[in-house]
Structure formats: structure tokens, C-alpha cells
Amino acid sequence: MQVTPNCSLSWRAAVIFYLWVCTASLGIALVFVWLGYWPVLPFAGLEMMVLGVALWLSLHRGSYREVISIFPDRIEVARGRTRQRECTVFPLHWARVNLRPTRLASYPSRLVISSHGRSCEIGRCLTESERIGLGRRLDELIGTTAHTPDRWQEVAKPGNAHR
């Protein structure tokens, strides 16, 4: 399963959007400069710089990935942006999936895989309903301590992504 944030804007589309907005904004600012209102130009440049930084941050955050792999003996949770940066492994028969509510109602719950005193939060980028669905699906696939579900092979098949 692969968990990714909902980011439908591609880098190419973002660059096209940014260039179009810059052309329009700076074009209008240049007309005002030609009319003698020169203070418009620095503010227009500052707006475009802030827009560019916001677009970059949004797209950078959208490249985050969590890959949850379930094998007959273990669960692997790999995280990273363009390449895997962190990998946590849990023994399958001892792993537990818990959806932990927070004390504040406005904060999202936390979906955690834990085993032997170690834990790993997953699905931070998901909505509350998606996180609940992912927790249920992982519960089905992992099963209880004394039972290994027959359906764990489904996860190993290519194309079984959460999103």
C-alpha cells in the first residue's frame, strides 16, 4: 500500500501557472510604472516571490510517500520523498494497529503500528475518514496474534495502492 498526500498539481502545471500569473501581474505593474506609479513594482515582485515559495512548498510536501508492505513474517513501513529515507520493520504476528484519538477534538487522530515497545505513525497526510479506512484495512490484513489472515497475499500483488 502506498499512502500519499492529495496533491493533484504536477510540477509542470505549477510552472505554467506560475509563469502565467507572473506575466499578468508584472505586466500590469509595468503599465503602472509607465504611468508614474513606480512603488507598485516592488510589491508585485514580492507577491510573485511569495507565490513561488508557496507553490514550491506545496509541491515538495506532495511528494511525500509512505509505502506499507506486508510480508508473511513482517510489516515494513518505508517513508521518504523522492527516495526512501526511513524504514521501520515490525514482526507480523506481534504488530498491532491502533487509531489513537487526541485530547482535542479539532486535532486529527493518530494511526499507529506498534510492536515490542516500538511504534510508527502512518497516514499523517490522510483525512480522518481515510485514516479510519486504512486502519480497518490493515487490521484485516494483519489479523490477531494467533491468526494470520489468508488474505495477506493480496497486499503483495502489484497495483494494490491505498490511493
How does pLDDT run across 95-141, given as a tens digit for each residue?
Answer: 888 888 888 877 888 889 988 888 888 888 888 888 889 888 888 88
How does pLDDT run across 24-40, given as a tens digit for each residue?
Answer: 999 999 999 999 999 99
Mean pLDDT in residue range 80-99? 83
Percent of the chain with pLDDT over 70: 87
The length of the chain, given as a count of residues: 163
For residue 108, the one-letter residue type is P
* SS3 of 100-134: ECCCCCCCCCEEEEEECCEEEEECCCCCHHHHHHH
Phi/psi of residue 96, nearest 5 degrees: -130, 140
Q: Is 152 helix (H, G, I), strand (E, B) or coil?
A: helix
pLDDT category at 14 given cuts 50, 70, 90 is very high
Q: C-alpha grid cell for residue 95?
A: 504488530
